Amino acid sequence: MENGPARVARSFAHARAVADAILYEGYLLYPYRRSSGKNRVRWQFGVIVPPAWADAHGLTDTSVAGSAEAPWQQTECLLSAPDDAAVTCRVRFLQTQRKSVEERLPEGSFHPADFVNAGERMEVGFDEAVPQEFDFRIPLRDLRAGEQKFELRAPGGEDTAPILDDEGRVVGRAVRRRWPLTAVVTLSATPPAAPGEAPPRADLTRADLPRADLPRADLLRVHIANTDAATAADAPRDEALCRSLLACHVLLGTDDGAFLSLLDPPEWAAAAARECVNVHTFPVLTGEPGDRHAVLSSPILLYDHPQVAPESPGDLHDATEIDEILSLRTLTLTDEEKREARGTDPRAAAILDRTESLSPEAFARLHGTIRTPLPESDGAGVVVAGVPVAKGSRVRLRPRTRGTDPQDRFLDGRTALVEAVMTDVDDGTHLAVTVEDDPAADLNQWYGRFRYFAPDEVEPLPAAADGEPR
């Protein structure tokens, strides 16, 4: 049997791809060159800035928006677990690493430069970032007893690497500097003001609680505050970012018990879920579908059990774009633009290499796929005007005059064949149909490309006899 730490590790591993996408979202945007305007104002999500700098700039927003810069971030979620359970907290963020370049002079000394030519490649000064990750494992009983504080320290440092030309000669050097970061993480577990307790029902199932003997839900809080005192209040933003936690997010796991969804809490915990206050971040269930042992608290709003599309060949640092379009646009960059992008950041070079090596089959997968978002109802179908309607039934379309797709209005009076009766996430019923006499009906059936109507938008018809025109 899988033990607690192994279970949490598996949930965290499953969440890694999404967590990494959050970590690097907006890190570097197309066309991936330093000279591009959009890559001169960076770090848009989960930025926890030095407190004095935040005060001087009036950064007092306490909304859930992760795009607002602030000196602290807070996660609150619901955990149902026994007293002897343990909670694992993983804090992840980026630390700025400023890369400057220096050209080698004939006498062997080095002089600061905007860029260094190195034959076919070039090296450009740019702000990179180093991922940081800190883990804490705390008994739940300790969190219930009072706040537990942990200090985070990411050391500063400086590294120097030679820049070589095509023949291996030193033509310059890259100097990478990091500034120390300090923060305090405070964790606690308290009963919510609206007690999250399940009523003693005989029909309580595992879907409602992790275990039938765990009726209590604690409000688990994670507060992360930047404690830097070295940044001047009037410092420019670029300087403040050097001592800020960037793209900060949290993974929480439990080895015995379960987290409750704040998006779709069980009825008995709905009031407690509304009580949770999340500032610049929001927690969702993560891991494999159905897994309740882990939560990902993200500065970018997500749904429960988020995942990266399996067709995606890799991170492009811009989740608001379509992978196919962005990959094709990347291929249209000129050789000089690609040269600058490769010299800007190693992650930009990796994107170019991956995009240029995509096979036609990989591009075809990016073009689109068919998934079934709506489960089909059972064979009983649905009753319309006292007539059972199911797969294979014929109907006449009567779209609503208001609140419907304007294109559907053109189908008023047309007959259609019901291909499936489906139920959406809100338990609404929909009829998937193909329009009869449509020259593309066979193709649409093969694609699975249907039109959708509510039961009150159709009139049942008798089945067509063999050979009878439809």
3-state secondary structure 436-452: CCCCCHHHHHHHCCCEE
Residue 392 has pLDDT above 60, yes or no: yes
First to last CA, the chain: 59
pLDDT level of residue 349 (50, 70, 90 thresholds): very high
Residue ranges of alpha helices (H) inside 182-236 are none
How far does Cα 377 stand from its chain's mean position?
31
Least confident of 36-50, 198-212, 217-231, 375-389: 198-212
Q: What's the mean per-residue pLDDT of the chain? A: 88
Pick 436 or 426 by higher pLDDT: 436
Distance from C-alpha of 300 to C-alpha of 247, rounded to nearest angstrom: 9
Residue 270 — very low, low, confident or very high, per pLDDT cuts 50/70/90?
very high
Q: Give the lowest-confidence range in 230-239, 277-286, 363-372.
A: 363-372
Backbone angles phi and psi of 457, in degrees to 5: -105, 15
pLDDT at 176 over 50: yes
Best CA proximity match to 94, nearest among 160, 46, 145:
46
Q: Which pLDDT does position 350 carry in this prediction?
A: 94
Q: What is the CA radius of gyration of the chain?
A: 28
Average pLDDT score over residue span 317-343: 90
Contacts 24+ apart (CB under 8 A), 373-376: 374/422, 374/423, 374/424, 374/430, 374/432, 375/422, 375/423, 376/420, 376/421, 376/422, 376/423
The string of pLDDT tens digits covering residues 356-385 is 999 988 888 888 776 655 555 555 688 998
Q: Please list, in sequence order, all residues whose beta carbon lies within 8 angstroms of the beta carbon of residue 250, skipping any fewer than 6 positions away.
A: 75, 89, 90, 91, 92, 222, 224, 281, 283, 296, 297
Give the per-residue pLDDT at 203. 40
CA dist., res. 264 & res. 292, Å (int): 13
Confidence of residue 192 (pLDDT cuts 50, 70, 90): confident
CB atoms inside a 10 Å sphere around CB 7? 19
Residue 318 confidence (pLDDT): 86
The reported pLDDT for the residue numbered 17 is: 93
